[in-house]
């Protein structure tokens, strides 16, 4: 399989490494010419994936057209806020490609998922899929076992990506629930910030487990109201990715929450992060979507109030613990409002 990985950050580089190991012919594109040159000459990333030597079979390009020229699949591993620009840049090549979003986020201005952005730019006839799952980039780059899911309603596209990319330590599954996979992958970052807040204030394992579980319930309710299947949130893109992101020391979103919980002002903590923390913008998008679909998201709203409205972590926790309680599974039964 000939694969172009667009974006040479930690996740894009890790995907390129894994796919090359599995036998694919891989081109990796970086918009940063210095990063591209470092990867070509030293076979190591200058700021990510410490200790990983890039597989000899990976070709590194700094011209997007060259990277895409022979590809069958283009995997876009770019931050969510840059997806529209990248989609526009690859549009002339899109007819010949299966285009896979490996970003987990929303376009804040529109509330669109990443495949929604791709369809908006490339047209409804484009062959588009989403990739999401419990995948820490460093572990994938090291060749440790992992699993992920490619989501598309097109059975042929699903099989092409799944079967063409399998064979290495990263195992690909398929799903036709694109909305569920994308909502789960993006919204779990909000929950992970909350889990980090629990770590930062010393809320304990019980408190963190409650936050994660109720957070998954929130994002699943929103996803179901938006047209996703509830069961998707029990899969790799849902519980799998959420639990990983909430407990891993490598998680940027959890780490941001922990820093804030320990007393770092949110704006300072966000600015101090050297890589994109998708949960920050996902929190804004979550409330936009919750209002659009009429879904309660008390945890998401409290995290938003901490990040953007100056509310203290202690006050937010107190408000969550004293709000009215109801049936645990409210919002999942047919005909029952959330």
Q: Strand 73-76 and strand 2-6: pairing?
A: parallel
- 318 labelled as ligand-binding? no
311 is catalytic: no
Q: What is the DSSP letter of 104?
A: -
Using a cut of 0.85, tell me whether the model's pTM lies above it. Answer: yes
- 214 labelled as ligand-binding? no
First and final C-alpha spacing in the chain: 45
What CATH number does the domain located at 179-322 have?
A: 1.10.1040.10
- % pLDDT > 90, the chain: 94
Of 188, 208, 284, 311, the catalytic one is 188
Q: What is the mean pLDDT of the chain?
A: 96
**pLDDT of 211-256, one tens digit each?**
999 999 999 999 999 999 999 999 999 999 999 999 999 999 999 9
- Structural domain boundaries in the chain: 2-176, 179-322
Find, among 167, 196, 169, the residue nearest to 25 by Cα.
Answer: 167
CB of 216 within 8 A of CB of 237?
no
What CATH number does the domain located at 2-176 have?
A: 3.40.50.720
- 284 labelled as ligand-binding? no
- 315 labelled as ligand-binding? no
Mean pLDDT computed over 152-156: 98
Please give the distance of CA 91 from its chain centroid, rounded to a whole number: 23
Predicted local distance difference test score (pLDDT) of residue 274: 76
């Amino acid at each position: 399989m000939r694969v172009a990985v667009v974006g040479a950050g930690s996740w894009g580089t890790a995907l390129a490494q894994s796919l090359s190991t599995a036998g694919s012919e891989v081109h990796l594109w970086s918009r940063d010419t210095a990063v591209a040159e470092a990867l070509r000459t030293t076979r190591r990333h200058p700021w990510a994936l410490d200790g990983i030597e890039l597989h000899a079979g990976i070709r590194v390009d700094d011209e997007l057209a060259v990277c895409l020229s022979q590809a069958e699949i283009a995997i876009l591993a770019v931050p969510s806020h840059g997806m529209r620009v990248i989609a526009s840049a690859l549009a002339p090549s899109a007819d010949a490609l299966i285009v896979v979003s490996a970003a987990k986020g929303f376009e804040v201005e529109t509330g669109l998922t990443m495949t929604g952005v791709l369809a908006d730019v490339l047209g409804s006839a484009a062959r588009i899929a989403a990739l999401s799952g419990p995948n820490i980039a460093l572990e994938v780059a090291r060749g440790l076992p992992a699993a992920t899911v490619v989501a598309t309603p097109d059975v042929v596209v699903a099989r092409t990506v799944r079967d063409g990319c399998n064979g290495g330590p990263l195992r690909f599954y398929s799903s036709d629930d694109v909305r569920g996979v994308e909502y789960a992958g993006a919204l779990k970052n909000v929950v992970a910030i909350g889990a980090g807040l629990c770590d930062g204030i010393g809320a304990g394992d019980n408190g963190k487990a409650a936050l994660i579980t109720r957070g998954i319930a929130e994002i699943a309710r929103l996803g179901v109201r938006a047209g996703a299947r509830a069961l998707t949130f029990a899969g790799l893109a849902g519980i799998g990715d959420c639990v990983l992101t909430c407990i891993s020391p490598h998680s940027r979103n959890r780490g941001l929450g922990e820093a804030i919980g320990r007393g770092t002002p949110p704006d300072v903590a966000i600015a101090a992060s050297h890589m994109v923390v998708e949960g920050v913008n996902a929190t804004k998008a979550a409330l936009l979507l919750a209002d659009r679909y009429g879904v309660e998201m008390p945890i998401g709203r409290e995290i938003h109030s901490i990040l953007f409205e100056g509310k203290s972590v202690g006050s937010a926790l107190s408000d969550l613990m004293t709000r009215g309680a109801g049936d645990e599974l409210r919002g999942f039964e047919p005909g029952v409002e959330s």
